[in-house]
Amino acid sequence: MTRATQTISIFLLVSSLYLALFLGLIPLPTKIQEDLIPYLPFWAIISFGAYLLGKLGYNVMTFHDVPEAHKELMAEIEIARADLKKMGVEVD
């Protein structure tokens, strides 16, 4: 099973469960049915956004420098400068 198939399957499962809860096919107390169930999609979106922001912040905080990539990039810059000088473009 590919990741896309797995993601679609989980999404369909969760959405059908939410639809069954929202339409009242699964009996719940009226307080939960009226006050909690309609706001679950908004809560899920906000929670997912907070998770992604936290993950992004953590990855930026623990970002590691890679000396090999720096050397490779500098070599590519020198090659590009040499090519531009051959074409008559002044590069500082």
Domain-located, residue 39:
yes
Instruction: Note the pLDDT of residue 34.
Output: 92
Q: How far apart are CA 45 and CA 36, in angstroms?
A: 15
Instruction: Note the pLDDT of residue 68.
Output: 85
Domain-located, residue 22:
yes
Tokens of 30: 């009226």
The residues near 41 (Cβ < 8 Å, ≥ 6 apart) are 18
Largest pairwise CA distance in the chain = 78
Q: What is the mean pLDDT of each run of 10 residues along the chain (92 residues)?
A: 92 95 93 93 96 93 82 94 90 76
Domain-located, residue 40:
yes
Quote the number of domains for the chain. 1
Instruction: Note the pLDDT of residue 16.
Output: 96
Domain-located, residue 92:
no
Residue 50 structural domain: 3-87
Q: What is the pTM of this model?
A: 0.59
